[in-house]
Amino acid sequence: MKVIVCGAGQVGSNIARYLAAEGNDVTVVDQSPSLIQKIGDTLDVQAQVGFASHPDVLDQAGAADADMIIGVTLSDEVNMIACQVAHSLFDVPTKIARVRSQSYLTATWSKLFAREHIPIDVIISPEIEVARGIARRLQVPGAFDMIPLADGVVRVIGVICRESCPLVNTPLRQLTGLFPDLNIEVVAIVRNERPIIPNSDDQMIAGDEVYFVCDTNHVGRAMAAFGYEEMEARRIVILGGGNIGMCLAEELEARHPQVDTRVIELDMERAKQISQRVQRTMVLQGDSLDPEVLEEANVGAAETVVAVTNDDEANILASLLGKRYGCQRVITLINKLSYSPLVGPLGIDAVVSPRAITVSTILQHVRRGRIRAVHSLKDGFAEILEAEALETASVINTPLKDIKLPSGVIIGALVRKRQVIIPRPSTVIRPHDRVIILAAAGQVKKVEKMFAVRLEFF
């Protein structure tokens, strides 16, 4: 597949890295010579300096025979026009654009992106995606990540193993026998920042970050097995009223009306704007690091504080203050990768990375075969995939023990007519099953082929 990535920032470079590692023909375009030199030196891609929306630049990048263009520059307008030029002049089949400004995304102007106007196939709004990601984490107290799959029937949960966790120091193959009510599949472990794709003899130890797959109806039981029995948050304080904070407040009002939400925003005018957009949310104007403001927001009584200002350092400090005032749990937005290893020892419960969420959302539309959903884990060491097994897929009607799965690939669950099946060696994949898979980086291409339609089907 030939792909043009417009923008060599964090998101663009990560997308390019994923695609190039799988053997795709990738060209990255950016105005910055330094970014282009860096990406050209570190990745197996074509790197070109230029204005991504200019026809001559896209022509030189190979738009005439490109399969896809992905616009992730810092400018919404450049991303949008690059897609328009790619469509009108080069007939590029798939066009993806990151659009941050909420003005473009309101329902009032939905016709803007119709095919006869600005023909963008997929619009990614990082602020909306991040707000939804945070809202998902709030549904499972104790989890640092939560991914709903198969129309919500299955969830992939990320938790930290504490000293009190009854599952530690037990080989994974023994979990079913020792905990018969625990219907889960552990698919990944991160230990001391080192990712592990586990086998049945591996064990979880205290301090591990563990990802497991389970039936949505069994999440409470599974979390209790890991030592987490907190109630879902009823009082939430959002620190920062930017696009993410406002989108999160609106998401909570729409989908979780029982939650008492409060927003603290430093800028007076912005605070007024938010108060006009929300109905039940209390909006306070003030500094998230000011003890008096935190007391006025009653942070000590909140189950969760969500720090989503545009300053990583402020988010970390405000989260620590929230904990000091008695808040049970903090979720912190962090953009800088270098801060990620620090937050666990500091006591921050969950970290949200806009870059990682945006990359996962874009990859969902890049994947081929019958891949319905994609989620990138922990800086891209692996991906969680939801694939549909068609009649012609090579994996159907064969016991799992007889399928030669690529190294670093684990089947976490099957969903058959909304029934969740945790796989065993004798389990057989049937046509139209939804299959939840963890695939290590570099193995996703093989998974795509396993679920692709064979040529003899046509």
pLDDT tens, residue by residue, 349-386: 888 888 888 888 888 777 665 778 888 887 778 889 99
pLDDT of residue 96: 94
Report how far residue 48's alpha carbon sits from residue 58's, in angstroms, rounded to the nearest whole number. Answer: 10
Among 352, 370, 394, give the residue marking a domain's end. Answer: 352
Check pLDDT > 80 for residue 222: yes
Among 352, 373, 405, give the residue marking a domain's end. Answer: 352
CATH number at residue 212: 3.30.70.1450
Check pLDDT > 70 for residue 22: yes
Please give the structure tokens belonging to residue 52.
């991504």
For residues 53-78, average pLDDT? 95
CATH number at residue 88: 3.40.50.720
pLDDT of residue 343: 79
Q: Are residue 219 and residue 271 in the same domain, yes or no?
A: no
Check pLDDT > 70 for residue 262: yes
Among 124, 141, 174, give the residue marking a domain's end. Answer: 124
In this predicted model, what pLDDT tens digit does every residue of 229-248 receive, in sequence order? 877 778 999 999 999 999 99
Strands (E), 240-356: 260-265, 282-285, 304-307, 329-333, 350-352
Q: Are residue 313 and residue 206 in the same domain, yes or no?
A: no
* 458 band by pLDDT with thresholds 50, 70 and 90: very low
- On whether the CB atoms of residues 438 and 409 are closer than 8 A, the answer is yes
Q: Are residue 213 and residue 274 in the same domain, yes or no?
A: no
* pLDDT averaged over every residue in the chain: 89
For residues 173-179, average pLDDT? 83
Instruction: Please indicate whether residue 454 or residue 16 has the higher confidence score (pLDDT).
Output: 16
Report how far residue 160's alpha carbon sits from residue 205's, in angstroms, rounded to the nearest whole number. Answer: 10
- On whether the CB atoms of residues 384 and 410 are closer than 8 A, the answer is no
Report how far residue 344's alpha carbon sits from residue 366's, in angstroms, rounded to the nearest whole number. Answer: 32
Give pTM, 2 decimals: 0.83
- On whether the CB atoms of residues 212 and 157 are closer than 8 A, the answer is yes
Nearest 10 degrees: Cα torsion 358, 360, 362, 364: -150
Q: Are residue 249 and residue 317 in the same domain, yes or no?
A: yes
- On whether the CB atoms of residues 156 and 211 are closer than 8 A, the answer is yes
Q: What is the phi/psi pair of residue 409, to 5°?
A: -120, 130
pLDDT of residue 371: 77
* 259: containing domain: 236-352
In this predicted model, what pLDDT tens digit does every residue of 418-432 receive, in sequence order? 999 999 889 999 999
| Most confident of the ranges 172-181, 390-399, 402-411 | 402-411
User: In this structure, is the dihedral angle defined by the CA atoms of residues 271, 276, 278 and 279, taken in order, positive or negative?
Assistant: positive
Of residues 102, 95, 91, the one with CA closest to residue 69? 95
pLDDT of residue 115: 77
Residue 415 lies in a domain: yes
Q: What is the phi/psi pair of residue 22, to 5°?
A: -100, 10
Residue 426 lies in a domain: yes
Q: Report how many domains make up the chain.
A: 4
Provide the 10 A C-beta neighbour count for residue 15: 23
Q: Are residue 319 and residue 388 in the same domain, yes or no?
A: no
In this predicted model, what pLDDT tens digit does every residue of 279-328 receive, in sequence order? 999 999 999 999 999 999 999 999 999 999 999 999 999 999 999 999 98
